[in-house]
Every structure is written in C-alpha cells, then in structure tokens.
Amino acid sequence: MNKFIDTHCHFDFPVFYDDIANSLSLAHQAHIEKIIIPAVARWNFDVVAELANNHHQLYCALGLHPLYIEEHTEQHLLELKQKLKTASRCVAIGEIGLDDYMDNPQPEKQEAFLIAQLKLAIEFDLPVILHSRKTHDKLSALLRRYDVPRKGVIHGFAGSLQQAEKFIQQGYFIGVGGTITYERAQKTRRAIASLPLECLLLETDAPDMPVSGFQGEPNRPERIQNVFSQLCDLRQGSPEVIAEQLYLNSLQLFQLKDNTSSLS
C-alpha cells in the first residue's frame, strides 16, 4: 500500500482545526502518515506547535511568511528564535521566502527577514520551507549567499525546468502540488515530468492550491492522492516506485522516522 507525507498543509486553519478528529481520519484513509504544518506569522506559532505536540502524525515548521511582511517585526524574529529552542516537534524553518506578486511587497524588508531566518536555519540545523512567487532568480542568489547545510524545499513550485534545475543544483527539493493537475500549467508539468524523482516532495498547501475539479473549495490533505495520480501520469515508472521514493525523500529532508502506525 502506497503511503504519503503531506509536506505542506496549513492544518491549523479552521476548516481542519474545528474538526480535528474527522480531518485526521480522512487523511488516514488517504494513506497520509505524516503532515507538516508551516506557520506563517507570530500569531500561529503556538497553535501549530500545539497541534504537533498533541497528535503524533503532525509536525510543525516555524517561520514568518512574506505575505504577512506588513505585520512582521524584529520582536517576532526574537520570539521565533526562542520558540525554536523549545518546539520539540519542529522539523523546519517555514514558511519563509520572497513574494513579488503581492500588493506592496516591501522587497527590502522581505529580503531582510528571509536572511535573518536563513541564519536561524543554519544556527538550529534545520531545513527551510521556501515560498517563491516571481522571485526564483532572486531567491536562488540569496541561497548561494546564505548556505543552509540542511537545505530545504521550494514549496508549491510553478516555474520552468531551468529554474527548478538551478534549485536542485543547490541541493534543494521541489515541492509538487495542485498546479500540475491543471492542463494549462504546461511549463510546470514539463518540468516536474523531467526532474529527478529523488528531488521531489508531495504537498497540498491545503486549504490553498486547490486541485483541478475542486476549484472554489478548500483544498484538503487527502487530495494529495489527486496530485500523486497526476504525477504518475506525467512520469515513467510504477506508482509504487514513485510513491516510495517520494516518501523516502520526505523522511530524509525533515529527518522523520518511518514509524508506521495507525492514525488516531
């Protein structure tokens, strides 16, 4: 039986948090054994850490997302550092990165906060979960300047083969999500079809990044099955081999144990 790790799911959002038992049950039925919940701002550090502490199949990442750059402060960076010292189920710094697609992006502040968090990843020996919209080249250059030993993943990748290869050459994984389920996303579909399987991770970004056929609905972890099915259609190789490699990639990057057990 194929098993999966959703390496990026905002499980603290109300659509899941308000019905935890059912949400975990549905994920279990879809053979999702582990879910990583990235924080986005200081206001959800505590809840994502609490979720990871209270449910053995959940893990968290802690970071300050560029979409919330307006509200981030230097104090929040200090609080992030303190939280990293005590969050035993934190497996990455994230979600962090750059975004030039938003209104009022404040690129200088975004870059300063990203650099500060890359330095924390180096200090705490953690990988990074990286958000990048319209910023792949800028991000790649920053990652060369601030070399994170544990590397990380370019989350929700929607770029070209050349951009993906540049990140892979730097040691980073590519996050594969709902984008590939859309026929119009030919550039990204071609890239994901061509990249080494050893460099890919599965993710949903739920409740965001809906898969084709479910537009207008909150995305859900169990729809990782839709992403996986599309990935298998795009690539050569048996679904069993593809699923096993994706699972191993996730264990490797986030240093997770393969302690398969029934989800409660």
Q: How many independent structural domains does the chain possess?
A: 1
Share of the chain above pLDDT 70, in %: 98
**Residue 262: pLDDT band by 50, 70, 90 thresholds?**
very low
10 among annotated binding-site residues: yes
8 A C-beta contact, residue 80 and residue 120: yes
What tens digit of pLDDT does each residue of 93-112 get?
999 999 999 999 999 999 99
Q: How many CB atoms lie within 10 A of CB 258?
A: 11
In the predicted model, what is the mean pLDDT of residues 231-253?
97
Determine the Cα–Cα distance for residues 203 and 200; give it in Å rounded to an integer.
10
Q: Which residues pair with 154 in a beta bridge?
A: 130, 174
For residue range 138-189, list pLDDT tens digits in order: 999 999 999 999 999 999 999 899 999 999 999 999 999 999 999 999 999 9
Residues whose CB is less than 8 angstroms from the CB of residue 184 and which lie 6 or more positions away in sequence, other chains included? none
Residue 165 and residue 196 in contact, taking contact as beta carbons nearer than 8 Å = no
Q: How many CB atoms lie within 10 A of CB 51?
A: 21
Instruction: Give me the CATH number covering residue 50.
Output: 3.20.20.140
Q: pLDDT for 75-90, tens place per residue?
A: 999 999 999 999 999 9
pLDDT score recorded for residue 37: 98
What's the average model confidence in pLDDT over 11-25? Answer: 95
The residues facing 174 across adjacent strands are 154, 200
Radius of gyration of the chain (CA): 17
Q: Is the pTM of this model over 0.75?
A: yes
56-82 per-position pLDDT tens digit: 999 999 999 999 999 999 999 999 999
| In a domain? residue 30 | yes
- Under 8 Å between Cβ of 110 and 86: no
Model confidence over 219-238: pLDDT tens digits? Answer: 999 999 999 999 999 999 99
- Whether 30 shows a pLDDT value over 90: the answer reads yes
H/E stretch holding 36 reads strand 32-38
User: In this structure, is residue 206 part of a structural domain?
Assistant: yes
Tokens found for residue 128? 């990074």
Residue 261 lies in a domain: no
Phi, psi of 224 (to 5 degrees): -60, -25
* Residue 263 belongs to a domain: no
Q: Which of 75, 74, 52 is nearest to 62 (CA)?
A: 52
Q: Which bin fits 125, alpha (ψ -120 to 50), beta or left (φ > 0)?
A: left
User: Over 70: is that where the pLDDT of 242 sits?
Assistant: yes
Q: Is 76 annotated as a binding residue?
A: no
Asked whether residue 53 is assigned to any structural domain, the reply reads: yes
Query: Looking at 26-35, 118-127, 253-262, which range is the least confident one?
Result: 253-262
Q: What domain range includes position 219?
A: 4-254
Q: List phi, psi (to 5°) of 150.
A: -85, -5
Residue 258: predicted pLDDT: 87
Average pLDDT, the chain: 95
> Which of 253, 219, 231 lies closest to 94 in space, CA to CA?
253
User: Binding residue per annotation — 131?
Assistant: yes
Percentage of the chain modeled with pLDDT above 90 = 96
User: Is residue 179 domain-resident?
Assistant: yes
Do 128 and 92 meet the contact criterion of CB atoms below 8 Å apart? yes
Query: Does the residue 259 lie in any domain?
Result: no
Cis amide leading into 207 (omega within 30): yes
198 occurs within a structural domain: yes
Task: Please indicate if the annotation marks 136 as binding a ligand.
Answer: no
